Each structure stands twice: as C-alpha cells, then as structure tokens.
C-alpha cells in the first residue's frame, strides 16, 4: 500500500477547499484518507486498519468490497452497464420481484431511483397522486433528504438550509422517550406523541392529509427508537383519516434491526416504503414500493435515467441473496443485543453515557453531562481517541451527542468486545 502515492488527508482537504462546495463537512479533527475496505475493516493511506462501526452511514451492511457481491457486480459491469429503462433489461424486474417478496404485507410494485432523497420524494408524490392531497405530516427531528421537498419534511434545523420550505407540512412531536418532547413518562404517557398526530390532523390540516412520513428508528435524531405500540397507533390514526403511512427505511432497512425492515419489529405494514443505502451495498440504488392498488395510480410518465440500472440492480439482487444466505438478520439481532448489554454496563461505570438504545445493529449511546444536558464535545474527544485506536464509530443526534453504532452486519462477537473494550479504555482515560 505504501508504494502508492496518495494525496493524503491534508492534500484532500486543500483540494476540497478549492473545488468542493463548503456545505460538505467531514468528521474528525485529524481525519484519515481511507483507501481500502475489506468486509468490516477499512484501511487508511498510512496502512492503519480500522474496525468500521458506521458502515458508511448504514450502507455497507454486507461489508466492504464483499467478494461475493463484488464478483456479481464486476461480471455485470463487464457485460452491460446501462441502456436506460426505456429499453428492456431483466435485472430490475427481477429485483422488483425480490423486493415484493422480502417486504411485508402486500407491498408489491417498485419504482427505482438512485438516492434516498429521491425515494422519499417519490413516495410522497405517489401518496399525493393516490389521495389527491399534498398535505404531509412528518416528525420533528426526522431526516428524509436534501432536495427541496426532502429538506422541507426534515425536522432537524441543521439540515434545513432552505429558508423557504414547501408549504402544507406539519411536524408532530417525535417518540423520543429519553427526552420526551411532551414531558411525559413512557409508562404513563398513553402514547401521547402518537395521539398528537390526530390533534395535528384535526387542527392544522384540511382533515385528510395525503401522507404521514417517518423513519421507523430516527437515525439522525440520535437513534430514537419509538416505544412499543407507537407505529400501531400511528397506523390506526392514518387509516382513520385516509392518510397514507410512509416509512423511510433508508437507514434502517436490509437486515439492520434484525428484521429485513425495521417497521416489521412492530408488525406494521406501511402503505408505501422508501429504501436506499444498504440496498446497493455501495452501488447507488434506491426505491419506493407500494401495494398494486396504490402503485397503479401512478400512470403518468415517470422515469429515472439511472433507476434500476443493470449494475445497481445486480448489486441489489446480490445484497438480498447475501443477507439471506449468510443469516445477517440473525447476526444483527445477536450482536446488537451483545453491544447494548456491553454499553449498558459501561453506562453504569461512566456517567457520561446517559442512555443506551437501539434495535439490532442500529444502536446509540447518548452522551450527557451530570445535569442531563448534551455533551457533544466530550463525544468528539472520544470519537477521535477511538479513531487513533483503530475504531470508526459514528455520531448523530440533534445536539450531535449520540455515539452511533451502525456497523456492517457481518461484525463478529470478538469485534464487538474489541470496540467495547476500546470505549471503556477511552472513557477511563478521559475521566468520563
């Protein structure tokens, strides 16, 4: 590796400053140039190895440069790359058939695009076509995209750059039990946050909003897992008012939570589901899927040049095969349990960890001061020290104070112990 001449972190930062729009920030005070990936490991330009516990933000569920997937993608790249779906190729219909199989309930017909933003926007367009109503309810602290509408339905100020968002969007309080926006306690709240959606519909809308959209687990909000029964109640309310329930599985999908899709943890089937990231394991592919009854109302022309491209569809098919054949859902469930148990043990020893939450391998540890206020600087120091020790761990949260574990789902028991031990050492060294 050392013979290769790399730009190096400083060289990249210099070019970034000159040629990339400044909105794009990078993690770490002392960032590394990542040059190679192999399953759960990444390597930098100096040859240091890292255990990747963030998977490129929930993308590399099957691991970096997974040989089985790479082989199928490479074969497709050398056979046929692109003709656009105005011509017939077979991979995208095979992938759509497979998605109908692995998604819950009667979700059946897909539309393929390339990014999560397009998938959520597309899902909202379909809801508007089907219901004839463009009013939307979203959740505070949700994140759904970077495009005009995607940003407008995003409930995190940090990502709402546009001062003139689309109208007709209302935000309900999010199901964040650790810091309940309604100041309730989980055992006595009677799902007040879900009930607030009904209040919103009755007061702030025409009475029949077209869509309610939410992430099953709010990722950027800081791995906010809703209480049991939340989505069931939300679905009841949506059905009552003729509002379609759209789940954004962009971060939670494809085995991450121990189920193929996170919403399945609560036995709920959405009316439309948006997905992206891990579907391609690094190849740009996204989709939204709906039952035939809803999907069949989308009859006016709609196409995406690269949507369902032969190469990205091959990647999607290879990913779904790999998840099933290698039991990644089972591993996500078991390793997630191990990780959260370990984090809870660390929380007893290190008061900086105020809350541990998650499902499968979508887990967060919220860093707080003694008074419960967010501790983002302490978190940054810990992340930096973990990097030096060879561990890449993510961060999210409205206050950027949640340590985020979203590793490749092939991560081993030993790996989890390694990262827990490293975290313990760092927290002890930093007297947290």
Ligand X SMILES: Cc1ncc(COP(=O)(O)O)c(C=O)c1O
CA distance 97 to 106: 12
Cα–Cα nearest to 197, from 168, 231, 146? 231
Asked whether position 117 contacts ligand X by CB under 6 A, the answer is yes
Stretch that binds ligand X, among 46-54, 243-251, 255-263, 317-325 (CB under 6 A): 243-251
Stretch that binds ligand X, among 41-49, 115-123, 129-137, 189-197 (CB under 6 A): 115-123
Asked whether position 248 contacts ligand X by CB under 6 A, the answer is yes
**Structure token pair of residue 95:** 């992938």
**Residue of this chain nearest to ligand X (CB atom):** 116
Report the residue number, 143 or 318, with the smaller CB distance to ligand X.
143
CA distance 307 to 70: 20
- Output the smallest distance, CB 156 to ligand X, in A: 10
Task: Report the residue from 9, 122, 145, 255 that binds ligand X according to the rule CB under 6 A.
Answer: 145
CA distance 419 to 349: 16
Stretch that binds ligand X, among 12-20, 111-119, 364-372, 411-419 (CB under 6 A): 111-119
**Structure token pair of residue 400:** 């950027």
- Output the smallest distance, CB 118 to ligand X, in A: 7
Secondary structure of 310-379 as H, E, C letters: HHHHHHHHHHHHHHHHCCHHHHHHHHHHHHHHHHHHHHHHCCCEEEEEEECCEEEEEEECCCCCECHHHH
Tokens 């349990």 sit on residue? 337
Report the residue number, 250 or 320, with the smaller CB distance to ligand X.
250
Asked whether position 116 contacts ligand X by CB under 6 A, the answer is yes
- Output the smallest distance, CB 5 to ligand X, in A: 31
Asked whether position 184 contacts ligand X by CB under 6 A, the answer is no
3-state secondary structure (DSSP) of residue 113: strand
| Cβ–Cβ under 8 Å, residues 237 and 214 | no
Task: Report the residue from 42, 143, 214, 290 that binds ligand X according to the rule CB under 6 A.
Answer: 143
Stretch that binds ligand X, among 112-120, 200-208, 325-333, 344-352 (CB under 6 A): 112-120
Q: How far apart are the first and last CA of the chain?
A: 37
| Cβ–Cβ under 8 Å, residues 292 and 298 | no
What's the order of all strands across the beta sheet hosting 362-367?
353-359, 362-367, 402-405, 394-396
- Output the smallest distance, CB 220 to ligand X, in A: 6
- Output the smallest distance, CB 222 to ligand X, in A: 12
Instruction: Give residues 27-66 in contact with ligand X (rule: CB under 6 A).
Output: 57
- Output the smallest distance, CB 314 to ligand X, in A: 19
Stretch that binds ligand X, among 129-137, 138-146, 226-234, 347-355 (CB under 6 A): 138-146
Asked whether position 346 contacts ligand X by CB under 6 A, the answer is no
Task: Report the residue from 16, 146, 170, 184 that binds ligand X according to the rule CB under 6 A.
Answer: 146
Asked whether position 73 contacts ligand X by CB under 6 A, the answer is no
Report the residue number, 285 or 426, with the smaller CB distance to ligand X.
285
- Output the smallest distance, CB 385 to ligand X, in A: 26
| Cβ–Cβ under 8 Å, residues 137 and 170 | yes
Stretch that binds ligand X, among 23-31, 144-152, 297-305, 325-333 (CB under 6 A): 144-152
**Structure token pair of residue 18:** 């000159």
Instruction: Give residues 216-235 in contact with ligand X (rule: CB under 6 A).
Output: 219-220
- Output the smallest distance, CB 221 to ligand X, in A: 10
CA distance 404 to 412: 17
- Number of shown-chain residues binding ligand X (CB under 6 A): 16
Report the Cα 13 to chain-centroid distance in Å.
27
- Give the side-chain half-sphere CA count within 13 A for 352: 21
Contact string 197-216 vs ligand X (x = CB under 6 A)? ------------------x-
Instruction: Give residues 384-423 in contact with ligand X (rule: CB under 6 A).
Output: none
Tokens 């020790």 sit on residue? 389
Read out DSSP for 377-427? HHHHHHHHHHHHTTEE-EEESTTS-EEEE---TT--HHHHHHHHHHHHHHH
Task: Report the residue from 91, 103, 115, 141 that binds ligand X according to the rule CB under 6 A.
Answer: 115
Tokens 């690094």 sit on residue? 282
Report the residue number, 215 or 363, with the smaller CB distance to ligand X.
215
Report the residue number, 116 or 336, with the smaller CB distance to ligand X.
116
Give the footprint of ligand X on this chain (CB under 6 A).
Answer: 57, 115-117, 120, 143-146, 215, 219-220, 248, 250-251, 276
């Amino acid at each position: 590796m050392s013979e290769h001449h790399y730009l190096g972190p400083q060289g990249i930062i210099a070019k970034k400053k000159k040629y990339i729009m400044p909105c794009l920030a990078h993690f770490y005070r002392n960032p590394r140039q990542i040059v190679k990936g192999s399953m759960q490991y990444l390597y930098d330009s100096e040859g240091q190895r890292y255990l990747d516990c963030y998977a490129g933000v929930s993308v590399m569920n099957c691991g970096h440069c997974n040989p089985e997937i790479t082989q199928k993608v490479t074969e497709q790249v050398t056979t046929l790359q692109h003709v656009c779906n105005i011509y017939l190729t077979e991979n995208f219909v095979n992938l759509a058939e497979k998605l109908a199989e692995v998604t819950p309930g009667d979700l059946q017909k897909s539309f393929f695009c390339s990014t999560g933003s397009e998938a959520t926007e597309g899902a909202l367009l379909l809801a508007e076509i089907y219901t004839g109503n463009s009013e939307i309810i979203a959740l505070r602290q949700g994140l759904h995209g970077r495009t005009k509408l995607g940003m407008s339905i995003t409930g995190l100020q940090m990502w709402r750059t546009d001062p003139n968002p689309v109208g007709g969007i209302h935000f309900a309080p999010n199901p964040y039990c650790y810091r309940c926006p309604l100041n309730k306690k989980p055992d006595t709240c009677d799902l007040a946050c879900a009930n607030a959606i009904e209040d919103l519909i009755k007061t702030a809308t025409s009475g029949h909003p077209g869509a309610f959209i939410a992430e099953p687990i709010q990722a950027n909000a800081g791995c906010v897992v809703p209480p049991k029964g939340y989505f069931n109640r939300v679905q009841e309310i949506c059905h009552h008012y003729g509002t379609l329930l759209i789940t954004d599985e962009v971060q939670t999908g494809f085995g991450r939570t121990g189920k193929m899709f996170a919403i399945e943890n609560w036995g709920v089937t959405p009316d439309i589901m948006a997905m992206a990231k891990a579907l391609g394991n690094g190849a740009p592919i996204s989709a939204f899927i709906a039952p035939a009854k809803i999907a069949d109302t989308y009859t006016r022309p709609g196409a995406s040049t690269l949507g369902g491209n032969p190469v990205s569809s091959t990647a999607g098919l290879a990913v779904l095969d790999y998840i099933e054949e290698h039991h990644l859902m089972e591993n996500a469930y078991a390793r997630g349990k191990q990780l959260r148990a370990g984090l809870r043990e660390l929380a007893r020893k290190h008061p900086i960890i105020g809350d541990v939450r998650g499902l499968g391998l979508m887990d967060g540890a919220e860093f707080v001061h003694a008074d419960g206020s967010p501790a983002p600087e302490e978190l940054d120091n810990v992340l930096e020290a973990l990097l030096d020790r060879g561990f890449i761990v993510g961060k999210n949260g409205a206050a950027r104070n949640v340590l985020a574990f979203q590793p490749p789902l092939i991560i081993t028991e030993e790996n989890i112990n390694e990262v827990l031990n490293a975290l313990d050492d760092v927290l002890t060294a930093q007297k947290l």
